[in-house]
Structure 1
Amino acid sequence: MELAVLINAMQKLLLFVLLGYILRWKQLLTHTGVKELSSLAVNITCPLLVIASVCRMKTADMSIVLLFLGVGTIIYAFLPFLARICTAILHVQKSEGGAYQFMFIFSNTSLLGFPIVQALFGNDAVFYTAILHMPFDILVYSYGIYLMHQGDEQNNFSCHSLCNAGLILTIFALIIYLAQLQLPKLIVDATYTMGNITTPISMLIIGASLREVRITDIFREQRLYIMSVIRLIILPLIIYVLLINFTHFDKILIGIATIAFGMPVGSMIVMLANEFDNNIELAAKSVSLTTAAALVTIPLLSMLIK
């Protein structure tokens, strides 16, 4: 049943990827259009989805919530160091170093992670997954943007780049939850509706970006295979072992964390790559390869944690 749910979720996303590929192939979606869609998703729709999710979060045991948030913060504080080490070991060239570090740090926590943990652990799992990955939302709009500027020949990164709508809206979402603010229902519904277009937009962008890549080239990037093993298998197993031995979380929370950190590379890398015109092909290859591999690794992880 779990495998069927996973395959069904993947198939829906792949249909949007195929549509994006066809639209780019037929020139109905231009390079400029892809760049503009990427900017819209990165700066507006994705942060609005975070705000809407936070506003719809139900009240839970605050002590458990804060502990889970603390665990997520510790993990995301550690991941940049792991990413640097892995990138150095793989001898990644400087122009691609930032993109590879991004792959190790940021996974597809919401677009694919939410439906998968919901199918495996129930509706409450989405809430706890969102809590666990709140540091992701802040980190991706700060350190993530910094990484995706690396290798940019124009070298146009500045501290001003970190003052962006995505980071501001994400911090606002965190404040909303921690302060238990209640926004008007009209605003919550509007942000939720707007935020929900993030998934199809991101998949269209990935498909359009793949149009610029020779499909056979995806399987020739040996470093991507090693990255995939670390991203999809080694990292979640490390988190599983640490949580089992050093926390008192129940089996469900440990399972949520293990599965959530075993997701493929986040589609945000493709959107940022398009926005900054930097490593677009590599970004599209990483998402495609790890998403395909996740069809095998996620069911295996789910069997392990039971």
Structure 2
Amino acid sequence: MPSLCPAGRPAVQLTARGEACRIEPLSVTALQLVTFFSLFAAGYLLRRSARLPDQTGLVLSRLEVLLFLPALCFNTMAKNFQAQVFRDQGPMILTGFLVVAVTYGAARLLAGRFTRDPITRDVYVYSFTVPNLGYLGYPLVLALFGETTLFRYMVYAIPYQLFIYTVGIYILNPARTFTFKSILNPSMAALFAGIVVGLLRIPLPEVVTDTLNLAAQCMAPVAMLLTGFVLGAFTPGKLLSGLKSHIAAWIRLAVIPLAALAVFRLAGADPETTLLAVLLLAMPFGLNGVIFPQAHGKDSTEGAQICFVSHLYSLISLPLMIALLLAVLDWPG
């Protein structure tokens, strides 16, 4: 991922404060998001103009799930995971479990306010619980804060990954079926394989690390192309219609993260945990609320609407949220 700072440093660092680049975080985040969303727009326009076949979304999705995202997960864990992580990051993981549980409870209450249809209600429950922490969160954190912080973000997000592939898959499936095979998906397998390699300090051949690095760098651009392409099945008017989707988007992007920030500050949580938790909660809605209903032959319009609108608004909300977090937490000092 190209850096926005000179000398190849990330835009903002959580460690080595004296070495952090003094670039306005609002501008840095906005520029990075414009880069990502240019590919989002390209994917959307390619679908709307019928320049690519409809199966392209399936191909891109499989590349992400089977290759690019696992490569990023494995790489980050293999390079950074050590024995002391259990001691240092243990409280952060427990915090992640607590936040997932509280957010899930709040999501169940919120979802009933938006729809009475049980299928659509489940989409809202999932979407309010799990933001786009991977396809947008991972590359954005990497670009702004560097690989060390991405590693901590991934560690904090482990409870979310477990939720996605257990409760998440269950509630998004109208048949209410679940198998343990869903937990053993490529991304989770790669993440835990990377943990083992990191713990045991297993050396990997240079050709392997170079290949993984190259594959990991494809994750962000392909993810944004995929997001745009999937949403390209709907017209702009359809995606922007309906007041509910706009209200839901601002709850996702502002109300939930700001409430979390207030709670973390009142509880005296450490700045790093606060930043990572609130940043994750500030991400827009993800694609699963669109893809799963489609896969089961259900209407995915509302899932597409909240996903599209929240991604558009995140161009404004994320730079402001990150600037607020860095100011409130006095980071970097």
TM-score (norm 2): 0.77
Does the 8 Å contact 1:148/1:276 carry over to 2?
no
Question: Match for residue 289 of structure 1?
Answer: 309
Question: Match for residue 3 of structure 2?
Answer: none
- Name the SS of the counterpart of 1:229 in structure 2: helix
78-87 vs 21-30, which deviates more? 21-30
268-277 vs 69-78, which deviates more? 268-277
**Residues 185-239 of structure 1 deviation map (CA, whole Å, 9 limit, x = unaligned):** 4444434433433323332222223332121222322222222222111211222
Question: Match for residue 194 of structure 1?
Answer: 215
Question: Match for residue 103 of structure 2?
Answer: 79
Query: Which letter maps to 2:34?
Result: Q
Question: Match for residue 13 of structure 1?
Answer: 36
Query: Which letter maps to 1:173?
Result: L
Given the alignment of the two structures, is residue 259 of structure 1 paired with residue 284 of structure 2, yes or no? no
**Residues 120-174 of structure 1 deviation map (CA, whole Å, 9 limit, x = unaligned):** 6565322221111112222222322223323xxxx4x5334x5137636405523
Question: Match for residue 164 of structure 1?
Answer: 182
Q: Equivalents in 1 of 2:208, 2:289: separation in Å?
A: 29
Given the alignment of the two structures, is residue 141 of structure 1 paired with residue 161 of structure 2, yes or no? no
Q: Equivalents in 2 of 1:37, 1:90: separation in Å?
A: 31
Q: Equivalents in 1 of 2:183, 2:200: separation in Å?
A: 20
Structure 2 runs not aligned, ≥5 long: 1-23, 328-333
Q: Equivalents in 2 of 1:283, 1:205: separation in Å?
A: 15
Write out aligned runs for 1:223-234 (5 A): 223-234=244-255
Q: Equivalents in 2 of 1:10, 1:82: separation in Å?
A: 28
CA RMSD of aligned residues (A): 3.0
Given the alignment of the two structures, is residue 51 of structure 1 paired with residue 74 of structure 2, yes or no? yes
Cα 1:54/1:122, change in 2 over 3 Å: closer
Question: Match for residue 137 of structure 2?
Answer: 113
Question: Match for residue 227 of structure 2?
Answer: 206
Match of 1:246 among 267, 276, 279: 267
Question: Match for residue 63 of structure 1?
Answer: 87
Q: Equivalents in 2 of 1:174, 1:107: separation in Å?
A: 22
Q: Equivalents in 2 of 1:172, 1:115: separation in Å?
A: 17
Match of 2:57 among 34, 49, 65: 34
Does the 8 Å contact 2:130/2:164 carry over to 1?
yes
User: How many residues of Structure 1 are paired with residues of Structure 2 in the alignment?
Assistant: 299
Question: Match for residue 237 of structure 1?
Answer: 258
Q: Equivalents in 2 of 1:122, 1:279: separation in Å?
A: 39
Question: Match for residue 180 of structure 1?
Answer: 199
Q: Equivalents in 2 of 1:146, 1:43: separation in Å?
A: 21
Cα 1:43/1:142, change in 2 over 3 Å: farther
Q: Equivalents in 2 of 1:252, 1:137: separation in Å?
A: 20
**Residues 72-123 of structure 1 deviation map (CA, whole Å, 9 limit, x = unaligned):** 1211233222221111122342231222122111212233334544566565
Match of 1:88 among 112, 135, 140: 112
Cα 1:253/1:78, change in 2 over 3 Å: closer
Q: Equivalents in 2 of 1:276, 1:2: separation in Å?
A: 42
Percent identity over the alignment is 19
Does the 8 Å contact 2:285/2:311 carry over to 1?
yes
Structure 1 runs not aligned, ≥5 long: none
- Name the SS of the counterpart of 1:56 in structure 2: helix
Cα 1:92/1:261, change in 2 over 3 Å: same
- Name the SS of the counterpart of 2:80 in structure 1: coil
Cα 1:259/1:190, change in 2 over 3 Å: same
216-225 vs 276-285, which deviates more? 276-285
